[in-house]
Structure formats: C-alpha cells, structure tokens
Amino acid sequence: MLYLKNPSKNLIHKLIGLIITTLIIPLVIIDVWTEVYHRTCFPLYKMPYVKRKNYIRIDRHKLKYLNFWQKIYCVYCGYANGLLSYLVAIGAKTEKYWCGIKHKKDKNFIPPKHHQDFAEYNNQEDFNKKYKN
C-alpha cells in the first residue's frame, strides 16, 4: 500500500485498506471449501493436486524497510492474490476435465489462457478427438 505525504489522503488510504481487508472473511471460507473439494475430488478424477505453494507466497512482510501496516497489507495481498491464482488453477483443471470446450468467439471476451488446448466451439469432431474415451 502506498502512503502519500498528505495526511488526509493517508487517513483515507488507511480506511480504504481496512475495508479491503474485510474480504479476508469470504476468502478464508472460499479457501477452506475449495481445499475440501480439491483434496476430495481430484483423487476421484485421478488428477494431480495443484501445488498451493506455487501460488501463495507470503514473504514481503520480512522486508525491514516496511512499517507495521505495510507489512500487514503485504501479508494480506500475498495471501489474497495468491489464493485467487490458486483457485483459478483448480478451476482451470476442473473445467478442462468436465468441459474443455472454448467459448464462442467474441471480440469483447478475453478467453483464459487455460482454454488454449480446449476443443473449438461448436466443433464436434475436435471435441471427439480431444475428449472421446
């Protein structure tokens, strides 16, 4: 979190920071529930686990030049953004397993990177080639 020299803006940033960090509650709930799903269902699908440590990194709080609040927000951001990346990886593997079909082309839609190897939209031959057992 950047701290500006203007004290009033500093206060505003602190208040906004407190609001942002309230997201920790739904994030932890989603984290726990997703981990239950991940550890229960992935073995049933015979899919390898997504390695959590590859996505969630909490280390910036060790930097000596950060003040207490900056360290707190660095821990929060490392967890929150890492968790969201981890959830996307789990979701991507799940999507590939259940529905590896690209979306219909649309100039306003940015397809996720994990859709790259999916079957083309409305192409049964491609789908059968990639997913027929």
Q: Mean pLDDT, the chain, as a whole number?
A: 89
Q: How confident is the model at residue 5 (pLDDT cuts 50, 70, 90)?
A: low
Nearest residue to 123 via CA among 101, 97, 99: 101
- Looking at residues 42-53, what average pLDDT do you find? 96
6 occurs within a structural domain:
no
What is the per-residue pLDDT across 11-45, written as a single tens digit (0 to 9) for each? 887 788 888 889 999 999 999 999 999 999 999 99
2 occurs within a structural domain:
no
How many domains is the chain partitioned into structurally? Answer: 1
Contact 82, 52 (CB under 8 A): no
Weakest mean pLDDT among 27-31, 69-73, 110-114, 119-123: 69-73
Query: Mapping DSSP to helix (H, G, I), strand (E, B) and coil, where does residue 63 land?
Result: coil
Per-residue CA distances from 66 to 3, 17, 75 (Å): 11, 16, 12
Q: Which residues of 87-113 are buried (b: 16+ CB within 10 A; e: fewer)?
A: bbbbeebbbbeeeebbeeeeeeeeeee
Nearest residue to 114 via CA among 90, 79, 84: 90
91 occurs within a structural domain:
yes
Q: Which residues of 8-17 are buried (b: 16+ CB within 10 A; e: fewer)?
A: eeeeebeeeb
Beta bridge pairs of residue 119: 101
Whether the predicted model's global pTM rises above the 0.85 cut: no
- Looking at residues 62-66, what average pLDDT do you find? 93
The per-residue pLDDT for 28 is 97
132 or 112: whose pLDDT is higher?
A: 112
The per-residue pLDDT for 63 is 94
83 occurs within a structural domain:
yes
69 occurs within a structural domain:
yes
Q: How confident is the model at residue 2 (pLDDT cuts 50, 70, 90)?
A: low
Percentage of the chain beyond pLDDT 90 is 65
User: Cα separation of 52 and 23, whole Å?
Assistant: 20
121 occurs within a structural domain:
no
Contact 66, 60 (CB under 8 A): yes
The domain containing residue 51 runs over which residues? 16-99
- Looking at residues 57-69, what average pLDDT do you find? 92
4 occurs within a structural domain:
no
